[in-house]
Chains A and B, each alone.
Chain A
Amino acid sequence: MDSSAIRSRLAGAEGRLFWRSLGELSDTPQFREYLHREFPEQASQWNNPKGRREFLKLMSASLALAGVGACVKQPEERIVPYVRQPEEMVPGRPLFFATAIPFGGVAAPVLVESHEGHPTKVEGNPQHPAALGGSDIFAQASILTLYDPDRLQSIRFRSEVRGWGDFFSAMKGQLGAQRPRQGAGLRFLTERLTSASAAEQIATIKQAYPQAKWHVWDPTAKAAGAPSATYDFTKADVVVTLDADFLTGGPAAIRYTRDFAGRRRAAADAEAAEAAEHVMNRLYAIESTPTLTGAKADHRLPLRASEIAAAAQALSGGNGSGTFSNSAAQAFIAAAAKDLQAHRGRSLVVAGDYQPAAVHAIARQMNEALGNVGVTVTYGPSVDINAGDHAASLRELTQAMHSGQVDLLVILGGNPVFTAPADLHFDVALTKVALSVSLSMFPDETAFVTHWNVPEAHPLESWGDARAFDGTVTVMQPLIAPLYDGKTLQEVLAVFIDAQTGKNAHDLVKEFWTRAYAGTVPGWTFTDPTGQPFKSADSFWRHVLHDGWITGTAAAENGGRRAEGGNVATSDAVASTSAQAPAIAPGPSSALPPPSSSGLEIIFRPDPMIWDGRFANNGWLQELPKPFTKITWDPTAWMSANLAKEKGLIDGDLVELRYRGNTAKLPVAVVPGHPEQSVTVFYGYGRQVTGRVGSSADATAREFDVYKLRTSDALHFGTGLEIAKVGRYLLARTQEHHLMEDRHPVRIATVEEYRKDPEVIARFGERPPRTLTMIPDWDYSQHYKWGLSIDLTSCTGCNTCTIACQSENNIPVVGKEQVDNGREMHWIRVDHYYEGTPEDANSIKTHHQPVPCMQCEKAPCELVCPVGATTHSAEGLNDMVYNRCVGTRYCSNNCPYKVRRFNFLLFQDWETPSLEPLRNPDVTVRSRGVMEKCTYCVQRINLARIDAKREDREIRDGEIVPACASACPADAIVFGNLNDPNARVSKLAARERTYGLLEELNTRPRTTYMAELRNPNPELS
């Protein structure tokens, strides 16, 4: 659709309503019209505003389709060679570059695949200590944001297009006015930052303008005064979490998942002999909102968020256990405490980011008492260059704004107008600022009301640097020139520094780090991986760009973190807490919140997919099924079955939430395992201004903004919530039924049971004799025999495989209505099952199971296709030939695993030009009317086979890694050649805990599962 027209329409609306507050604005007809036009799903099929164009488009599309395979002339195509071909470039073969995708300021280290100069796929950086090859949904999905046609496309002043020069001179003018006042009216607002070069820039600015202040706001920032810790799960035998979700939500989770899951797998597969030194770690989760970490736990104790502190005290041996009426909790905490004592120095207590500093303090005291510090946990200053009390920092800023002290406010990233706590009235305060600047990737709520909008460069377009969660310095290099003349944070900061006038991001970053190399920046000493000093600054820089990170800069190994002198730049308010961050900060925030007395508890959490709302316009994340509920496209209010019954609510009821005089609406989702008398709400939805995907579909969806309920004094939970049903709301889920119906798709045993009798897994189902089939046998002995092993003991259900697959295989987004019709296109889905009675939250056990195509050796799909569009390959794959498929859907009906996906409509976006470079050129872009499914990434198999054959050798084990396997942070997915006895996959397939899904059907799946082993505490079971 014509986005530029809409943008201009929006601009018009903006011009007229410039000084109004967003609330009013969103109710103006223009705005509603804009939202409706922006949202394709709104258009019904017949009476369609753009019906005619639709009609023509479909017409042309169908003709184009008719062309495929039929005897119709191909359109004439052009070949456009280079004029001067770059050295390293081999047309037709991809290149990989190491860079990083910052998330909450922290670097997620990645390798990016680039075809003829356009990035197409993000992979984890296998060498980087913080990734070890793994990645997460946010890193994977970032590639879609890069090509998002709705990004802010030009510098604007009061919605008029301006140039960088105009902005530059405007700022210089302001600075001229500020210099005599020492920058008293100058304020910067950023998100969490870890960039050392940016830190130095801000320091420089503060030297020039001592009165200027730097504030920080990230709605998901951990509680003020909480110490920053890095964990080593490889050494932890017993882990107790206090409302902590260390397996998801941020780059740290990638490495943590790898370590935690690695331990589990090692123990599960340990031979009897070495069983002794491979103890399976045991995880106790004491948590409020159900998380994937809790789902993985051997024991889970659901408590209200406000009860966690008491539980922590009880755990630490202090009194407080008395506060728990239910005996289950008593027993749980007692057993956990005992287990911790029994594993001194090999245990770990992890406090949740959203729990107050006091809980962190207790956790730290326990870790110190248990002798875990330095072994399983390291405490140190935060990697943030501006750590501290975000709420306080933002409060100070808004007070200044209200009182008109702010002449120039520079908002660098983030979307405070949308995400600021309701009680601060940031949007109103902003109208009192003489001149406001925002740096943002999208025309979001903040850009909507700030005077200057500067388009932010996407990480894949940027030069920059950031620290990994462990402190490792990670350098970002661009894969492509900024598509919409975006600027990086460093470039905007440079405007305020005379010395850096006219320097671009590359100069700034390279210059800083070469100086650091030269030793002129205090605290840095660099050595190459071998420990030797680099030959020259040049070789240093090339090495850094090649690897993407600097060896030995992790906090544990190097004083670097402490030394880079970033903290000087934090604003006074921030400095006060950040200075003493390592210690347990006293002060108001550290007092134990009173145990909740009356009313419901409300728990605030970022949306698991679109986070604080920043990914609202990312279709991949919007359509990614949320944990447990498997709901797409919408937020929900989670509550226990009992509370729902008490309030007379069922799934899909729309409730009004009243909390501290504010109201918002959310649809209800009943989540077994949720603590009683407590409701979890997810912020990030209810966006007013963003792209065509993220803008709320209708008036109802615009009321999903629970930031309106959030107050700066209790950011993460509080009591006194009231809920009342006000209607129904359609929720689109990818999975309706969450019970296993005694079919055992997931086979579960305890590690003891399994070690005692490995056959316990096989006994879950029956293995019919191999001869019992009518489909003729194939001889695979002469070929590779591809197989995929999925370890349910390691899998955490994080969904990264799904989105990696979507990115690698050009899988379309279908939209809410189609998901509701059961037409989602994910090639690998993550099934979710629970055991236990919903009424008893303690009894709930959750299991996850990724399901790709099984590539059956006796495939039911193959023999029913009338045109042979799905056939058996020599290597045993069920090839799916899109161009031969006529779309009878018989194969899907006959697939017992229902892993086939059908293009019921033209799901691929053939119109948006900016999405073309996103697509993987090695995979056919499917059109309407054809079936598709997981291929084991056959494009990667073919590439490897061809390379191997060219060199007259066999494909090495591990040479081929499908997208799902390479993305998996838990390393749960292993691919390889089952004919090679030494291949990792063959060894896994030989394990007793390996089983085939529905193997009683004798389909002989090549995809096999390794049973889920748990390690419960005998005292509790």
Chain B
Amino acid sequence: MINPKPATYEPAPLIEPGHTFGSITDKIGGVVLTTKQPLSWIIVVSIGFMIMGMLGMAVTWLLLKGTGIWGVNIPVGWGFAIINFVWWIGIGHAGTLISAILLLLKQGWRTSINRFAEGMTIFAVMCAGLFPLIHTGRPWLAAYWLFPYPNSMSIWPQFRSPLIWDVFAVSTYFTVSLLFWYVGLIPDLATLRDKAKLKPVKVAYGMLALGWRGSARHWQRYEHIYLLLAGLSTPLVLSVHTVVSFDFSIGIIPGWHATIFPPYFVAGAIYAGFAMVLTLAIPLRKVYGMEDFITMRHLENMGKVTLLTGMIVGYGYISEAFFGWYSANKYEGFMILNRMFGPYWYMYWTLIFCNIITPQALWFRKVRTTPMGLFAVAMIVNVGMWLERFVIVVTSLHRDFLPSSWGMYYGTVWDWMTFIGTIGMFVTFFFLFVRFLPMISIFEMRTMAPAAKMKESEGH
């Protein structure tokens, strides 16, 4: 994952010198236990909450009126809903990747970012999970007919459909990620319980801490379960987006029906995920003065991963174009030309700019080590990844086999309200998390502290 470091320069440390166990605990725990929050937090949360209200409005109207309030039509039966679903799920990948895979790979630098990356995952998957349900014509039935259970109709779901696989893939992923996150939180919750001044706060964190006393036995079991979950969620990181990609590659529509989808989607997901982690990490460390814990080293490494995955995604685009020509299939060929020069050409080329051209900037150490530069790149990539899903879903459908059924698709105001609404929901949840839970793993940071180098060597 990480480039062999060139002899020329010494990378920034994972934690700025001069920190003790105490200082770490106070710095991180302080954010949670203090009563007053920076103004920026209040502003962001209240805006996020208002946007979330917009989501509520959009969904209510949707349930009352029907899917027709959106822009979807025949031939383009899927629109924003599925685009957003795939986009959010993609974002949800970085968390587990960082926590699980980097953990197994013994990447120490994961420590200070895994906690909120996991948080991000949970909330992203929550946003994603909303869409497959509300995009159906009759959500009140889809909610339970997609699950196999003995019913009075004595029939089962149709297990050949990728949508059923989705149901299981996503719900499993969500459950495991949640467990993983929570288990990781337990020692810190205990710390907070002990640090808290007020009784009710103590009780609250106490309950969540499940009576953690930090005894050797606790630690030993903790290590086991944490490793176990890490092992469990590692394949999930790959499986979820693979299954999501099946939604398309199982279809016969040119532009969907391609074998490269699974790797291409997974790479894209990690790409989007890291971009989002950067998008969140950079402002956070500034606002809460966490520069000591989330150092340049972290940012730089994430930049490198972004660059790598970006290249893989780029390869995906190129091979798609290549197949379009090499397959010598008139429908495939037309599809790729239609993407590049059809009515939605601007979508395609913007996407190329966002996802292939922009990340090239990360070759330069200067960019990788300037937060603003990284932030800019990350933002552009976030947009790019949404466009990618738009291109895949819409431009494949809107001109398929029979010219007589060709059509166009445009999102309506309700599409946009729903999409932006989920962003609001994400922001709200994320900042509430930042407020009430330690955004960085306290006890793991402790292991980073100079005083803990001993422990480190014995460690996991």
Q: Do chains A and B touch in the complex (CB under 8 A)?
A: yes
Q: Does chain A have a CB within 8 A of B101?
A: no
Q: Does chain A have a CB within 8 A of B42?
A: no
Please state if A736 and B78 are interface contacts (CB–CB under 8 Å): no
Q: Which of the listed residues B77, B139, B407 has the most CB atoms from chain A within 10 Å of its own CB?
A: B77
Q: Give the residues from 739 to 759 in chain A that come closer than 8 angstroms, CB to CB, to chain B.
A: 739-743, 745
The digit string for A974-990, where 1 denotes a CB below 8 A from any CB of B, is: 00000000000000000
Of B47-55, B161-169, B178-186, B217-225, the stretch lying at the interface with chain A is B161-169
Please state if A890 and B252 are interface contacts (CB–CB under 8 Å): no
Q: Give the residues from 86 to 119 in chain B that come closer than 8 angstroms, CB to CB, to chain A.
A: none
What is the count of residue pairs linking A and B with beta-carbon distances less than 8 angstroms?
189
Q: Does chain A have a CB within 8 A of B411?
A: no
Please state if A888 and B404 are interface contacts (CB–CB under 8 Å): no
Of A223-231, A893-901, A1012-1020, the stretch lying at the interface with chain B is A893-901
Of B65-73, B228-236, B269-277, the stretch lying at the interface with chain A is B65-73
Please state if B403 and A823 are interface contacts (CB–CB under 8 Å): no
Please state if B142 and A864 are interface contacts (CB–CB under 8 Å): no
Q: Does chain B have a CB within 8 A of A868?
A: yes
Set A66, A739, A864, A897: member contacting B140, Cβ < 8 A: A66
Given A898-B405, A905-B66, the answer on whether A866 and B146 have CB atoms closer than 8 Å is: yes
Given A45-B65, A65-B138, A739-B403, the answer on whether A865 and B74 have CB atoms closer than 8 Å is: no
Please state if B161 and A902 are interface contacts (CB–CB under 8 Å): no
Q: Does chain B have a CB within 8 A of A844?
A: no
Please state if A743 and B405 are interface contacts (CB–CB under 8 Å): no
Please state if A905 and B136 are interface contacts (CB–CB under 8 Å): no
Q: Does chain A have a CB within 8 A of B334?
A: yes
Residues of B within 8 A of A742 (CB): 330
Q: How far is the CA of A884 from the CA of B334 in the complex (A)?
A: 36
Q: Does chain A have a CB within 8 A of B402?
A: yes
**Which secondary structure dominates chain A's binding surface?**
loop
Q: How far in angstroms is the closest Cβ of chain B from A797? A: 12
Residues of A within 8 A of B149 (CB): none
Given A887-B138, A930-B137, the answer on whether A868 and B155 have CB atoms closer than 8 Å is: yes
Which of chain B's residues has its CB closest to A814's CB?
B68
Q: Does chain B have a CB within 8 A of A906?
A: yes
Residues of B within 8 A of A884 (CB): 145, 155
Q: Which of the listed residues A70, A897, A898 has the most CB atoms from chain B within 10 Å of its own CB?
A: A898
The digit string for B110-154, where 1 denotes a CB below 8 A from any CB of A, is: 000000000000000000000000011111111001100000110
Q: Does chain B have a CB within 8 A of A69?
A: yes
Please state if A851 and B138 are interface contacts (CB–CB under 8 Å): no
Q: Does chain B have a CB within 8 A of A928?
A: yes
Please state if A867 and B73 are interface contacts (CB–CB under 8 Å): no
Q: How far is the CA of A59 from the CA of B65 in the complex (A)?
A: 9
Residues of A within 8 A of B405 (CB): 735, 897-898
Which of chain A's residues has its CB closest to B152's CB?
A71
The digit string for A802-823, where 1 denotes a CB below 8 A from any CB of B, is: 0000000000000000100111
Given A69-B141, A892-B74, A930-B138, the answer on whether A864 and B161 have CB atoms closer than 8 Å is: yes
The digit string for B234-254, where 1 denotes a CB below 8 A from any CB of A, is: 000000000000010011110
Please state if B406 and A928 are interface contacts (CB–CB under 8 Å): no
Which of chain A's residues has its CB closest to B166's CB?
A866
Q: Does chain B have a CB within 8 A of A32?
A: no
Set B71, B158, B408: member contacting A868, Cβ < 8 A: B158
Q: Does chain B have a CB within 8 A of A833?
A: yes
Q: Give the residues from 915 to 940 in chain A that come closer than 8 angstroms, CB to CB, to chain B.
A: 928-931
Residues of A within 8 A of B404 (CB): 735, 737-738, 745, 829, 831-833, 849, 851
Please state if B406 and A821 are interface contacts (CB–CB under 8 Å): no
Q: How far is the CA of A821 from the CA of B410 in the complex (A)?
A: 9
Q: How far is the CA of A384 from the CA of B322 in the complex (A)?
A: 69
Please state if A45 and B69 are interface contacts (CB–CB under 8 Å): yes
Please state if B77 and A905 are interface contacts (CB–CB under 8 Å): no
Please state if A888 and B136 are interface contacts (CB–CB under 8 Å): yes
Q: How far in angstroms is the closest Cβ of chain A from B110? A: 36
Residues of A within 8 A of B139 (CB): 886
Q: Does chain B have a CB within 8 A of A617?
A: no
The digit string for A506-527, where 1 denotes a CB below 8 A from any CB of B, is: 0000000000000000000000
Please state if A894 and B253 are interface contacts (CB–CB under 8 Å): yes
Q: How far is the CA of A890 from the CA of B397 in the complex (A)?
A: 11
Q: How far is the CA of A892 from the CA of B397 in the complex (A)?
A: 10
Please state if B78 and A893 are interface contacts (CB–CB under 8 Å): yes
Q: How far is the CA of A902 from the CA of B77 in the complex (A)?
A: 9
Residues of B within 8 A of A900 (CB): 74
Q: Does chain A have a CB within 8 A of B64?
A: yes
Set B74, B145, B334: member contacting A901, Cβ < 8 A: B74
Q: Give the residues from 52 to 96 in chain A that come closer than 8 angstroms, CB to CB, to chain B.
A: 55, 58-59, 62, 65-66, 68-71
Please state if A743 and B74 are interface contacts (CB–CB under 8 Å): no
Given A887-B67, A894-B251, the answer on whether A741 and B157 have CB atoms closer than 8 Å is: no
The digit string for B374-402, where 1 denotes a CB below 8 A from any CB of A, is: 00000000000000000000000100111
Set B78, B163, B252: member contacting A1001, Cβ < 8 A: B252
Set A62, A821, A886, A906: member contacting B73, Cβ < 8 A: A821
Which of chain A's residues has its CB closest to B158's CB?
A868
Residues of B within 8 A of A892 (CB): 74-75, 77
Residues of A within 8 A of B74 (CB): 822-823, 892, 898, 900-902
Q: Does chain A have a CB within 8 A of B160?
A: yes
Q: Does chain A have a CB within 8 A of B207?
A: no
Given A743-B402, A902-B74, the answer on whether A886 and B65 have CB atoms closer than 8 Å is: no
Which of chain A's residues has its CB closest to B396's CB?
A893
Q: Does chain A have a CB within 8 A of B63?
A: yes
Given A863-B160, A897-B401, A898-B402, the answer on whether A889 and B141 have CB atoms closer than 8 Å is: no
Residues of B within 8 A of A823 (CB): 68, 73-74
Given A59-B64, A893-B251, the answer on whether A863 and B136 have CB atoms closer than 8 Å is: no
Q: Give the residues from 543 to 574 in chain A that come closer than 8 angstroms, CB to CB, to chain B.
A: none
Set A741, A893, A896, A928: member contacting B77, Cβ < 8 A: A893
Q: Does chain B have a CB within 8 A of A998?
A: yes
Given A890-B163, A893-B397, A929-B67, the answer on whether A737 and B77 have CB atoms closer than 8 Å is: no
Q: How far is the CA of A205 from the CA of B118 in the complex (A)?
A: 94
Set A822, A865, A1001: member contacting B75, Cβ < 8 A: A822
Set B68, B138, B161, B400: member contacting A904, Cβ < 8 A: B68
Residues of A within 8 A of B253 (CB): 893-894, 896
Residues of B within 8 A of A930 (CB): 137-138
Q: How far is the CA of A192 from the CA of B251 in the complex (A)?
A: 57
Please state if A736 and B407 are interface contacts (CB–CB under 8 Å): yes
Q: Does chain B have a CB within 8 A of A380?
A: no
Please state if A896 and B163 are interface contacts (CB–CB under 8 Å): no
Q: How far is the CA of A68 from the CA of B153 in the complex (A)?
A: 13
Which of chain B's residues has its CB closest to A825's CB?
B74
Please state if A886 and B136 are interface contacts (CB–CB under 8 Å): yes
Q: Does chain B have a CB within 8 A of A453?
A: no
Residues of A within 8 A of B334 (CB): 741
Q: How far is the CA of A896 from the CA of B255 in the complex (A)?
A: 13
Which of chain B's residues has its CB closest to A871's CB?
B158
Which of chain A's residues has its CB closest to B401's CB?
A896
Q: How far is the CA of A930 from the CA of B135 in the complex (A)?
A: 12
Please state if B157 and A889 are interface contacts (CB–CB under 8 Å): no
| 29 contacts across the A-B interface (CB closer than 8 A) | A58-B65, A59-B64, A62-B64, A739-B403, A741-B403, A743-B330, A743-B403, A745-B403, A821-B71, A822-B73, A832-B404, A860-B251, A860-B252, A863-B250, A864-B161, A889-B137, A890-B77, A890-B251, A892-B74, A893-B253, A894-B252, A894-B253, A898-B75, A898-B400, A900-B74, A902-B137, A903-B66, A929-B136, A929-B137
Q: A65-B138, A885-B138, A904-B67 are in contact. List 11 more A-B contacts (CB 8 A).
A: A55-B64, A822-B408, A823-B74, A831-B404, A865-B161, A886-B138, A887-B136, A889-B77, A896-B400, A898-B402, A903-B137
B: residues with CB less than 8 A from A are 61, 63-69, 71-78, 135-142, 145-146, 152-153, 155-158, 160-164, 167, 247, 250-253, 330, 334, 397, 400-408
Closest 8 CB pairs of A and B: A887-B137, A929-B137, A904-B68, A889-B77, A905-B68, A822-B73, A898-B405, A868-B158
